[in-house]
């Protein structure tokens, strides 16, 4: 009897503690959920802002290119999005023991094709000087510039025995990949710019972002079909120096990126960029050339004998 009120008090106390514990758990869960959600929102916002900025920069840069405004600061960001897209592509074919090529130089030599996208730029002359110094020829996939200085550079590329090839006039994904017609118009425009400056009608092309790009609104297969019908041959790449990534590789790293992969294939197409901001690419070039030559590989410009390296193979789209 006399224990009744005490046990009643204890029971109340226990209940109070239990309720408090449950309250704490609920508050804890809510706090965790809020922090988690907030963190996710912050991360997403940062990613979206960064992505938007990059898209804007690329578009602005290319607008500047198209008008020949090459001294624009916008060039600094260059085409980061561009050639990142297909870079993770792992080639599975064209192994070293493939002897199916009709190359007049040396059937067994490993061939390296140095390719520069997005020029002409403030670095084109330096790149050409280095190539001249080592007496090697390369391939330039150019974009549309109409100022006199750029016209001279298109011409110098040709005069010094390199292959001039088409990349894009505007290099604006949003407009060139809207439809096959839009792509065709842009391609014709850059073809005419190069022809007017050099007298050369280009046959070789490289799609902005590569044939495996995932940004095109129209199927790349339709574009591939179109360019093939027009007699063009497109080239992707199987080796990169990494200068299109946001990683800002050091000169040594750019060299390593190339040397880690070059020589794995009979035909090695090395993707690099000729753009104002890509000064490390220029600095890395002499060492890259020296190391490739030391290995006994042959450096050549792309021509009719070159086995096209294609992420989406033309045979998979067009029956020739």
The footprint of Zn ion (CB under 5 A) covers 79, 82, 117-118, 208
* 8 A C-beta contact, residue 113 and residue 301: yes
Distance CA(21)–CA(169), nearest Å, equals 68
Burial class (CB in 10 A: 0-12, 13-18, 19+), 155: middle
**117 vs 236, beta carbon nearer Zn ion:** 117
**CB 60, min distance to Zn ion, A:** 15
The size of the chain, in residues, is 320
Distance CA(239)–CA(308), nearest Å, equals 13
* Radius of gyration over every alpha carbon of the chain, rounded to an integer in angstroms: 28
Phi, psi of 138 (to 5 degrees): -130, -175
Distance CA(145)–CA(120), nearest Å, equals 8
**115 vs 257, beta carbon nearer Zn ion:** 115
**151 vs 167, beta carbon nearer Zn ion:** 167
Catalytic residue from among 61, 162, 273, 311: 273
**CB 162, min distance to Zn ion, A:** 17
Does the annotation count 117 as an active-site position? yes
**CB 83, min distance to Zn ion, A:** 5
Distance CA(281)–CA(268), nearest Å, equals 18
**103 vs 118, beta carbon nearer Zn ion:** 118
DSSP 59: H
Catalytic residue from among 82, 83, 94, 117: 117
C-beta nearest to Zn ion: residue: 82
Residue 181: partners with Cβ closer than 8 Å, 6 or more residues away: none
Q: Which residues are catalytic?
A: 117, 273
């Amino acid at each position: 009897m006399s224990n009744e009120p005490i046990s009643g008090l204890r029971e109340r106390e226990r209940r109070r503690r239990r309720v408090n514990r449950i309250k704490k758990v609920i508050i804890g869960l809510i706090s965790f959920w809020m922090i988690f959600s907030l963190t996710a929102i912050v991360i997403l916002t940062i990613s979206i802002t960064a992505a938007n900025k990059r898209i804007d920069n690329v578009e602005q840069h290319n607008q500047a290119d198209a008008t020949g405004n090459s001294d624009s600061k916008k060039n600094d960001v260059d085409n980061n999005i561009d050639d990142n897209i297909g870079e993770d592509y792992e080639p599975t074919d064209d192994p070293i023991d493939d002897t199916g090529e009709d190359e007049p130089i040396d059937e067994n030599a490993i061939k390296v094709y140095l390719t520069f996208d997005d020029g002409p730029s403030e670095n084109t002359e330096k790149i050409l000087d280095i190539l001249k110094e080592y007496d090697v020829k390369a391939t330039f996939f150019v974009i549309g510039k109409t100022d006199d200085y750029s016209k001279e550079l298109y011409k110098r590329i040709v005069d010094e025995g390199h292959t001039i090839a088409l990349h894009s006039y505007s290099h604006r994904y949003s407009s060139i990949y809207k439809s096959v017609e839009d792509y065709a118009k842009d391609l014709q425009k850059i073809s005419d710019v190069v022809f007017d400056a050099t007298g050369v009608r280009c046959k070789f092309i490289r799609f902005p972002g590569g044939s495996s790009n995932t940004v095109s609104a129209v199927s790349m297969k339709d574009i591939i079909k179109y360019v093939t019908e027009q007699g063009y041959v497109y080239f992707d790449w199987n080796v990169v120096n990494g200068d299109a990534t946001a990683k800002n590789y050091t000169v040594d790293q750019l060299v390593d990126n190339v040397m880690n992969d070059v020589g794995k294939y009979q035909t090695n197409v090395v993707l690099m960029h000729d753009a104002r901001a890509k000064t490390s690419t220029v600095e890395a070039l002499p060492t890259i050339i020296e190391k490739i030559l030391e290995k006994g590989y042959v450096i050549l410009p792309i021509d009719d004998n070159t086995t096209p390296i294609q992420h989406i193979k033309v045979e998979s789209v067009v029956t020739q």
